[in-house]
Amino acid sequence: MRPCRWQVLTFVGLLICGGLAAVRETRPLPVSAHVYRPPPPGGWSTADRLRQYGKSVRARVEPDFRRAGVTYPPAALTLVVLKQEQTLEVHASGRENGGFRFVRSYPVLAASGHAGPKLREGDRQVPEGLYGIENLNPNSAYHLALRVDYPNDFDRQQARAEGRGNLGGDIMIHGDAVSAGCVAVGDPAAEDLFVLAALAGTRNVRVIMSPLDLRAHDIPPTPPESPAWLGPLYQTIKAELVKYPAPP
Measure the CA–CA gap between 247 and 71, rounded to whole angstroms. Answer: 18
Average pLDDT over residues 153-182: 94
User: 6-10, 39-43, 65-69, 98-102: which has the highest mean pLDDT?
Assistant: 65-69
Homologous superfamily assigned to 44-212+227-241:
L,D-transpeptidase catalytic domain-like (2.40.440.10)
Measure the CA–CA gap between 92 and 75, rounded to whole angstroms. Answer: 7
Sheet holding 76-82, edge to edge: 101-107, 87-93, 76-82, 205-210, 129-140, 143-148, 172-174, 183-184
- What are the pLDDT digits (tens) for 80-90? 999 999 999 99
pTM (predicted TM-score): 0.85
pLDDT of residue 39: 85
